[in-house]
Copies of this chain bind each other. A is one copy, B any other.
Amino acid sequence: MSFRDKLCSIQKKNNSLLCIGLDPELNRLPAFLQNNNNALFAFNKAIIDATSDLVCAYKPNMAFYEALGANGLKQLEDTISYLKEKHPDLPVILDGKRGDIGNTARLYAQMAFSYFNADALTVNPYLGLDSLEPFLKYQDKFIFVLVRTSNPGAKDFQDYLVGQEKLYQKIAVKLKSLSNDSQIGIVVGATYPEELKELRKLLPQTVFLIPGLGTQNGDIEKTIQYGIDRRAEGIVINVSRTIIYASDKDDFGQKAREEATKFRHLINKYRR
């Protein structure tokens, strides 16, 4: 099944466009977990158990695991294995923002799609189209290309004017020249609703992965209004810190569920 079909199917079943970012930082976890050698996995498991019926995907960001070296990566592996076993219908979006020359990108594709068995990977377009191609050889997998990111510095280079268009718009359009653009989505921050609106015009049927709600203060109403692809919905809205750190006590799973319920409801309120 294609990533897009898998995504549409779970979005209907769970009535949700919400994705939870599994970004566990050791010193922000509940104190009773911090001395556990598998703290990241134990934390993720509790978050997943508490929220799996409220979401359309989970998105672990690799930085939070790699900061702990091999042990961290083992816990990322355990997290994805747990998801694949318990919730095979929920796509896993690995957030690595990888990008390298073709010969090396091939190894990152192997890492994401073969070793970790993720459904999708976020990638960085700066190295050009040949750096994206190795990922597209995995035909049932998917990439989200960074186009307009959610951080304040996004404007530094992404907004440069290239002729009449901005760099991020040029990149978005160029992605359509790749042979299998049905395997390509884009990342665009909820913190920039006008840019989101423009991008939806340029790419009417593309899946958008939208971070930046919650801690980063993106605008939910505009994100939905501007981001929705009327034919197939085609958006995944990621929230990380506001949900996973809703409590630092042993009720963190329950509190995460309450926050996730709130976000799902708010998003659905603006959908129609």
Residues of A whose CB lies within 8 Å of any CB of B are 23, 25, 61, 63-64, 66-71, 73-74, 77, 97-102, 104-105, 107-108, 110-111, 115-116, 124-131, 146, 149-158, 160-163, 167, 170-171, 174
Q: Tell me the nearest residue of chain B to A104, going by C-beta.
A: B63
User: How far apart are A64's CB and chain B's nearest CB, in angstroms?
Assistant: 6
User: How far apart are A79's CB and chain B's nearest CB, in angstroms?
Assistant: 12
A149 CA / B129 CA spacing, docked (Å): 13
Given contacts A73-B73, A162-B160, A149 and B127 within 8 Å (CB-CB): yes
Chain B residues near A108: list those with CB within 8 A.
Answer: 63, 66-67
* Given contact pairs A68-B115, A69-B116, a sample of 6 additional A-B residue pairs in the complex whose CB atoms are under 8 Å apart: A63-B104, A63-B111, A66-B108, A102-B153, A127-B153, A128-B157
Q: Tell me the nearest residue of chain B to A162, going by C-beta.
A: B160
Is the CB–CB distance between B154 and A115 below 8 Å?
no
Is the CB–CB distance between A167 and B160 below 8 Å?
yes
Chain B residues near A98: list those with CB within 8 A.
Answer: 63, 97
User: How far apart are A251's CB and chain B's nearest CB, in angstroms?
Assistant: 24
Is the CB–CB distance between B107 and A128 below 8 Å?
no
